[in-house]
Amino acid sequence: MSLVYLWSKQGVLLCIVKYLKIGIYEISALAIILFATLLRVLLAALNWPYSTSDEGTMGIMAMHIAYRGEHPIFWYGQHYMGTLEAYLAAALFHVFGVSVFTLRLSSIILYVLFMVAMYFLTGVLYTNLKFCSLARLPFCLPPGLRSPTVAMSLRIDHGCATWGMLVGDWLSDSVSGVIN
C-alpha cells in the first residue's frame, strides 16, 4: 500500500475497520444507537412531550446544584432515587444555560450510555450477533411510544429501566441454562 492511499479517507477508514474488527452487526448497532439518539434530540428540540413534575423537580435540583452550591444525594422528597442526572444537568446548565432542552440533553446523554451498555450486555450474554442488533430496537423509541401505559417522557426513569431489567433478567436466565 502506498502512503498516499493510507492517508486518503478510504484508506484511514479501511485501517480503522480492520483494526477494530467492525462488521455489519457493529455497524447496524451504531446505526440504531445514532437513530435513537437523533430521534430523542429531535423530540426534545420540538418540546415533546410537555414537561412533567418529575422533570421540574430534576430541573430545580440541577439549578440548586449549579447556582446555589447545594449537593443533594437523593431526590427532593424521594429518599430512594439518586441525583446523577441532576448533577449532569447542572454541568450542562453552566455550558448551555438553563432551558428545558438542556435539562433533557442530560437524560439523552444517559440514554446513549444505556444503549451502549445494553449492546455490550447482549454481546456478552449471546454469541448470536443478529440478536444483539435486534435486542436494542425496543429502546429506540421513547417510553410513551412503546406502550400507552408507560408515562410519556424522554427521561430514562421507569420505561428504559424496566425494559433493561426485563431484558437483562431474561438474557441472564437463558444463558445460565446454557452454562449449567
- 84-102 pLDDT, tens digit per residue, is 999 999 999 999 999 999 9
Q: Cβ distance 83 to 104 under 8 Å?
A: no
Q: Is the bond preceding residue 142 a cis peptide, omega within 30 degrees?
A: no
Residue 27 to residue 145: CA distance in whole angstroms? 25
Residue 161 to residue 111: CA distance in whole angstroms? 10
What 3-state DSSP class applies to 75? strand
123-179 pLDDT, tens digit each: 777 766 566 556 666 666 655 555 444 434 444 444 455 556 566 666 656 655 554
How far does Cα 166 stand from its chain's mean position?
17
